[in-house]
Amino acid sequence: MKMASRLLAVLSVAGLSAAAMAQPNSTYIALADSVGFGITTGASYSQISNGDRGYVSLVADWFGSQNGGTRPGVLNLSVFGDSTGSFGTTTNPARALNTNYAALPVSQSARFAAAVAAETGAGRTISAVTVSLGANDLLQVIQQPGFQLLPAPQQVALVGAALQTAQTNLVQIYAGLRAALPTTPIIAVGYYDAFAALPSQPDPTNPLAPFNPNPAFTAAATVSLNQIIEGVATAFGARYVDVFSAFAGQEAVLTNMVLDQTTAFNVHPTPAGYQVIAGQIIPAPGVAALLGLAGLVAVRRRRSAA
């Protein structure tokens, strides 16, 4: 009984029980860039969707499996190309690809605020929020013309400045999320290093990639970004999910960097990659360090047995 009580207390503090996230009449909201929107090959870059795909769909399915098959409503507000800076602006036209943005122009931030008001006003619970933001802050620097030809100190300085700005923006974003939803589970999804799938030297056979970023450089930048995401998320009571480690060594099969040659630097996950991301968000039952998502049902069973 004491052990069950302690486990229940852990789950309560984490705020991530399956029962809480998969209750009937609840809504799961996703805030993100193209990874959260479920982009895969270049063909999907222009597809219009409601975003119930990729890891978002898999996570929603799991929530439903924990609630007798009753899947929560899914409101994916992710916007292809959004960065931590454009999250609060209307400058990104790609939101037109997301059918959850019927009224344009509106920022992802404003759309989230409106969604919270609408869902709670209708008596529905916002049961969970996943957030994937920050990668485009780096990509906007790394992929700008001439960046790869700059001396290493200049590259480091530019990336460092982008990371500082991302940190400032993420603090504002998470502060707003927590203010709007004081007790709702928020899950911060980290990033993988898609560039690790490329050879360290230029590939003359690939006209879409005349030069490749230094893999050590992109790995270090991604790790730094993830550390910022984790630090900010933790400060606001969100749970950080490590995707970098899960992709490490498998980037060539878990991303489209080498599998899709129709688009230069297609950093997006393959279906297998999205499965891996979902698997990090939804850990296997019994993993003690991640009991926050393992399900309150297990704890209740232990309590009953006691």
DSSP category for residue 3? H
- Which tens digit of pLDDT belongs to each residue from 58-95? 999 999 998 788 999 999 999 999 999 999 999 999 99
Q: Is pLDDT at 39 greater than 90 in this prediction? A: yes
Number of structural domains in the chain: 1
Q: Hunting for tokens 């790869």 — which residue is that?
A: 148
Sequence-ordered list of residues with C-beta below 8 angstroms from that of 249, at least 6 positions apart, any chain: none
pLDDT tens for 238-272 read 999 999 999 999 999 999 999 998 887 899 999 99
Helix axes 296-305, 2-14, angle to 10 degrees: 160
What is the pairing mode between strands 125-132 and 186-189?
parallel
> For the range 112-116, what are the long-range contacts, defined as Cβ-Cβ under 8 Å and sequence gap of 24 or more?
112/29, 112/31, 112/77, 112/177, 112/180, 113/176, 113/180, 115/27, 115/29, 115/75, 115/77, 116/29, 116/180, 116/181
Range of the structural domain that residue 94 is part of: 2-305
Q: Sign of the C-alpha dihedral, residues 35, 36, 41, 47?
A: negative
pTM of the model as a whole: 0.83
Q: What is the CATH number of the domain that holds 83?
A: 3.40.50.1110
pLDDT at 167 over 60: yes
The letter for the amino acid at 7 is: L
Give the pLDDT confidence score for residue 200 in this predicted structure. 62
- Of 3 and 214, which is predicted with more confidence? 214
CB neighbours of 215 closer than 8 A, spacing ≥ 6? 193, 195, 196, 198, 200
Residue 55 scores a pLDDT above 70? yes
* Burial of residue 190, with CB atoms counted within 10 A of its CB: 0-12 exposed, 13-18 middle, 19 or more buried: buried
3 state SS of 32: strand
Residue 265 has what pLDDT?
84
Which pLDDT tens digit goes with each residue over 201-236?
555 555 444 455 667 788 999 999 999 999 999 999
